[in-house]
Structure 1
């Protein structure tokens, strides 16, 4: 059963196994413009059924968490502190699963603390956002402009959202619901991810790591996911015919099954 609570001002979703388990807890970290809600309908129920206690936070200023009024001033370091807060609340280090910006935050978290495992899904690479921004600007200039409008809180439409996040067939009801939940993102955090707060590869703890990407991702292209794998000397799996929002693509069960199989191999 999915539950929601507030922990030190942060919205936390939980979806727990129906029986007692010895498997490690999972903490999901969402991407830009989103919230903890993005994990609740797909990944969390499947992995909870597989015996993993699942938690997803909404970073400060996102979803039901405090700080929406100051959204533009939140830094990546602030978001890392949010992850620390929920890890401390859990009482034991969870496996961290980050999507897009969330993957970048997870990488920054590893500068400070250890984790039993980390999954980076369509994650901003350790080299930052610059390459993906230029790639989008030159290949899809209209979409680049419209995404910048979303960042400023201006309305977009489902057509823009479909082009930015999805490659396959999309359920219109889900797309409209996603659009209604999207929100502005912190300008400061985006600058941090561009150049001012890139991960220090030499200071990071190196737990078991899973790196996943999507073949038709226009926001974090597959070649940048490959660069993340190269940076960490880890293999990369790219899902064909999928876009950035692999949590909600029609074939999302393939992604969560791959993640579940990897999780089963991690020793508690």
Structure 2
């Protein structure tokens, strides 16, 4: 672990070299932190000759926040990505998962980057369809938890977490271990910024984009992922039999290989 500007905690592995001079900056999704990238992806890309950096957004893991986590905004998270990116020798490729993918979209609308990768990302239009679908599918659990002020009480419930984050083929021991590492998330981000308050602006993004989806994603439908790709003038690519947490699922290596191949094809 290291810190950028003595504030945000990051996990930093590998070194940029002749094969890949551009660093990679990974942005985690809601309820997670940098550990979700450190489990497999950071070592994979470091071994392939990249410098691979994953940050903990403010209020996550050991990254402090000047305001309570519940009041953090998407703009705050974008500032965190920018702060880490500025500490790198060259602008990084930004790679975001789920909520982190939405943060990446907002970052790319305001900052120059060589490329962006969206992994099971929240759509540019926000979370309203996904949240409505989740509540409709799991009415009993959503009704008896304080999901509006303590969203982890709903999303961190073992049954819900398995259904939303993982495929049926993911071993129970992995799901249990990863669910135990979840933490609460900003209610401002989930229920305001990503529903109506601060939506993405794809037309402002000029960086080439790779959009990846999971066939068995419990959060975002394949239709939503395809719409995300169209918004960024590309075509979504899907991984069969995978759940939302594509970087932690048993088939994670295929996802990492695909990203590596795409980046290499972009000259990065």
TM-score computed with the length of structure 2 as normaliser? 0.91
What CA distance in whole angstroms lies between the structure 2 residues aligned with 1:83 and 1:224?
Answer: 25
- Gapped regions of structure 1 (runs ≥ 5): none
Contact 1:168 1:249 in 2 (8 A): no
Q: TM-score, normalised by structure 1?
A: 0.91
Deviations 1:5-57 (CA, angstroms, capped at 9, x unpaired) = 12232110011049765431000000001101110011111111111110000
Residue 5 of structure 1 is matched in structure 2 by 2
- State the SS of the aligned residue for 1:97: strand
Contact 1:100 1:122 survives alignment (8 Å): yes
Structure 2: how far apart are the matches of 1:158 and 1:47?
A: 30
Equivalent-residue separation in structure 1 for 2:227 and 2:47 (angstroms): 33
Q: Is the 8 A contact 1:17 1:49 kept in 2?
A: no
State whether residues 218 and 243 of structure 1, in contact with CA within 8 Å, keep that contact through their aligned partners in structure 2: yes
Residues 120-177 of structure 1: CA deviation (Å, up to 9, x unaligned): 0110111111111122222333465569379444384433321121114223443233
1:161/1:70 CA distance change after superposition, 3 Å: same
Match of 1:214 in 2: 214
Pairing 1:201–2:202 present: yes
RMSD across aligned C-alpha pairs, in angstroms?
2.2
Q: 1:236 to 1:143 in 2, by over 3 A?
A: farther
> In terms of mean alpha carbon deviation, does 217-226 or 53-62 score higher?
217-226
SS at match of 1:110: helix
- Report Cα offsets for 1:238-259 as digits up to 9, x if no partner: 1111110111111111111111
Q: Report if aligned partners of 2:167, 2:241 keep a CA contact under 8 Å in 1.
A: yes
8 Å contact kept, 1:215–1:242? yes
* CA 1:49–1:150: 2 relative to 1, 3 Å: farther
Is 1:231 aligned to residue 259 of structure 2? no
